[in-house]
A and B are shown apart, each in its own frame.
Chain A
Amino acid sequence: MGKTLAEKILSKKSGSDAKAGDIVIAGVDLVFVQDTTGPLTVRQFQASGFKGLANPQKTALFIDHAAPSPNNGLSNDHLLLRQFAQQTGAIISDVGGGVCHQIVVESLAKPGDVIVGADSHTVTAGGLGAFATGMGSSDVAVVFGLGKTWFRVPESFRIVLSGNFQKGVCAKDLVLHLIGQIGADGATYKALEFGGDSVGAMPVSQRFTIANMAVEAGAKVGLFPADETTRNYLAEQGRGEHYQPVFPDADAIYEQTFNIDVANLEPTISQPHTVDNTAPVRELKGTKIQQVFIGTCTNGRLEDLEIAANILKGKKCHPQTRLVVTPASRQVLVGALKAGYIQSLIEAGAAILPPGCGPCLGLHQGVLGDGEACLSTSNRNFKGRMGNPEAFVYLGSPATAAATALAGEITDPREVV
């Protein structure tokens, strides 16, 4: 009987014939934490009585959520992580490096890997064909010590994508549309596996955007096959040797199949306060927006800044709308500087923040005021998400964000591209 991507990867890593519903114990190829979940992980690791890390070179600590630190509480958490890295030999990425998930896909994740992170958007690396999922600090502490963890092998939903996107429509619109269709708990405990004609041509940056948001439908992983596009990306990153093909079997069994012709999609937005509260952007035209935020592990990549810069080049943001841009990583920032995107954005009125999570989770930088609305390229719009339960967060694509920054109100990017 054929296997899904999830079954294939977990079979290999557990050394068993893993089928949906089984409980397996699998080796972990990469485990990581960030600065808001890492300190508890370190304490749980120490409480467990482990003598050292199972694999220091496969263990990474990221200082990205509050970077640079806005207060002494978080600064002390950072100190703890730095000390832990020094004592154990773990990899550390400090202030200015960028968001954990972006650095993981740029430098660490390989197709076919099992990856566990103390952050729900660990699923991002599914875009490279890695079984990557988020867990809590205790689970991750045990992976630090044992180099393995237990999984329930998920059933898979297959999402078959065909056709080409219209101009002004991209992967973010697709994934928001999908979550709107199946609901924020529509794929709880499941793997989302993407395939179909549109996938081969889809750049990895868009695969990451989609995989990143799999968790917003409740999924355990969002998986793409590792194909020629993946091979080319890894080669560009100087790690072509990390490529191996990863595909599902043709006769794999899926719990459900969804077919989406992406040519039918239009710019889509999530309205406050749930991600599955989606609507076509045009239906919200005229909604005033005080802050536009472009960045995050969902849409803070070079390709996203390029889309925004092309729309904003030579123009000015609306006087009542501030634009905050946070490149996802140092590599993205350097690339955007070289390509002139940063200059275009700054001249249009943007404030550029250092690589990292920026205002995404509401703990510093760009916290909203009472009654204010933000159009964000991030992945969550829960009440209070951007630091103020009295504020409103809308989620959209980089093109929708840039068009909205120009007009000062929610705007369909097809009007400007």
Chain B
Amino acid sequence: MLKGRAFKFGDSISTDHIIPGRFAHLRSNLPELAKHVLEDADPTFASRVKEGDFVVAGNNFGLGSSREHAPLVIKMAGVKAILAKSVARIFFRNAINMGLPVLICDTDTISDGDELEIDLAVGTVRDVTSGNQFTFGKIPEAMLRILDEGGLIPYIQKYGDFKL
């Protein structure tokens, strides 16, 4: 069971909002890069987010570039899952490869700051603040196997090949 606070974002949060190209020189210095996570969407996010929190967004989260650094810095910030109405294709795959769960659900009723409890195995989200409970879409089987190993690189370290 995951427990934490919701940080609410709107629709179309791009990889440029998550880590802008102007910080490309920090991509080999991840702790420094992580200080700017989601800066162009909410400049206060990096200083407020705590271990265990959740990013909650609207439609098409993570659209744009293939930079895997985007889910990586969100994970480094302590975020345990991303909840969104929909997620861009490359971002979704990258997040799973980083071992960061992405849950597709109707996030409209979740407010900024709500306390959430997420049961990944059962597939439910409980909004403790509002009392609402809902389910999220199943993560495809092949991706679940990668997620279960903590991401693609641990998966490959273990199996040496795709065993999907």
Contacts and interface: CB of A to CB of B under 8 A. Distances in A.
Interface of A: 23, 25, 36-37, 39-40, 44, 47-49, 65-66, 70-71, 73-74, 76-77, 80, 117-120, 122, 134-139, 141-142, 145-146, 148-150, 152, 184-185, 188-189, 215, 218, 220, 274, 361-363, 367, 380, 382-385, 387-389
Contacts of A185: 59-60, 63, 86, 88
Contacts of B20: 362, 384-385, 387, 389
Contact of B98 (A39, A138, A215): A138
A25 B17 contact: no
Contact of A139 (B64, B93, B140, B157): B93
Given A135-B90, A136-B90, A218-B88, 7 more contacts: A39-B27, A48-B153, A70-B25, A138-B68, A152-B140, A380-B16, A382-B17
The 4 closest A-B pairs by CB, nearest first: A136-B68, A73-B25, A361-B21, A136-B94
B24 A36 contact: yes
Nearest to A47: B153
Contacts of A73: 25-26, 28-29
Interface residues on B, range: 35 or more
Given A138-B151, A218-B89, A384-B16, A367 B29 contact: no
Given A119-B65, A134-B66, A139-B93, A150 B12 contact: no
Interface in B62-94: 63-69, 71, 86, 88-90, 93-94
B151 A119 contact: no
A196 B164 CA distance: 37
B94 A138 contact: yes
A23 B16 CA distance: 30
12 contacts: A36-B67, A73-B28, A74-B24, A117-B66, A138-B151, A139-B97, A145-B156, A150-B162, A274-B12, A380-B16, A384-B16, A384-B40
B48 interface: no
A48 B164 contact: no
Interface string B127-164: 00000000000001010000000011100110011101
Contact of B156 (A66, A137, A142, A188): A142
A385 B16 contact: yes
A137 B70 CA distance: 11
A311 B156 CA distance: 54
Interface in B50-67: 59-60, 63-67
